[in-house]
Structure 1
Amino acid sequence: MNPQVLEPQSASSTSAEGAMRAASAPPIVLCFDPSSPSTATRDPRHEDWLLVSSNPLLSGTSATLPTAPTAGPADARTALAEFRRLSGLTWDQLAQVFGVSRRILHLWASGKPLGAPNEEHLRRLLAVLRRADRGAAGANRALLLTEHEGTIPIDLLVEHRYEEFLQLVGEGPGRRTVARRPLSRQAWEARKPSPPDELVDATQDRVHKDVGRGR
């Protein structure tokens, strides 16, 4: 363990008579093990929080404490777009799944934050739909809206019953990706652009020439 002593800067305050006096704070001792694997991956924001919270000169002031990173609106917007693409549902049907109006759904799609409960619901919906993916949006839409054993699967998603949904519909094959064959050497050579020296004497004129008088 290698202790390090951090001497906080002294702050000055003004009394009623105008005299200045220095306010000091006890030094802050930080101990860490250099051989610990967590030392290399220490989050500097966490250290900043420790320094601010343990320093009496800074605690109780308007100092802004660092917060943990969260998913931004762009990530939620991407997840919403993927869920709509996979499910094949209309905007009205999607609004029913989330229990909101169509206007609120459009605001989410344009980047407005969803809020923690709705974002968690979206993540879980996307996770179960990926597992139940039948390979096409139309097939997934039919899966969600077709009655199975007396239950409509989309109703289970509305009620946040994700595991029951998977048990009812089962897992699907997912999206199939077509493996592309690499181009042959002859194809690469045929698609290469012409060398610059061959284009020096190229005709700098239009390919199609108008014959006759113009209007």
Structure 2
Amino acid sequence: MQEEFEQERNVMSLVKIAAKGVAVGLTLALVSVVKANEIKGKVSVQGIKSAENIAVYVDVIPDKKFDAPKDPVVVDQRKMAFVPHVVAAQQGTTVEFLNSDSVGHNVYWPSISGNKKLAHNLGTWPKGEKKPFQFNDVGVASLLCNVHPEMSGYVVVTPTPYFAVTDKDGNFEIKNIPAGKYTLKTWSEDGKPTTQAVDVSGATASVELTVKK
């Protein structure tokens, strides 16, 4: 009888422990949801034909450093174009340039944000192959192909992992950003850069930006 009582008590203890574990897990899940802040916004343009492909990113955060991303970003050369036309990537990201066309392509950039010392030529390679390059300098690399001069694209290298590229309507969303006050910047192929302060104090910070010619 005593043995059966002990077994029942042990079972009840295990049930209580399991219940506490579930409760803790739910609490942590709720906390993580609350802390998963984001910046949502829309970019309007003046004197520019489109609000698409505008890079929006959080500028340097004082006393904050970020490890280089482990996963590469792929830029394809498809149908005689760089796809995507504009890609944003955190400083230290490796970009893999793929050739999906049946002809050979070349990738080079004459500078990064005007610094010609950062120019680079990856050479030419055939269909199905790709070449990697790690972008360690913040700025904009203007991608060109010396085989097909009509091709162009951009890699916008950002100082933080908080960035986005606008859709065709100018909408953007930067996810998983800690609460705090930041400086938001934009880069556009045809427009002037803009800077705006943003306070991420709630789950979602809404921002309206205007990029002018």
* TM-score, reference length from structure 2: 0.17
TM-score (norm 1): 0.17
Select the structure that is richer in strand.
2
More helix by share: 1
Select the structure with the greater relative contact order (CA < 8 A; seq sep ≥ 6).
2
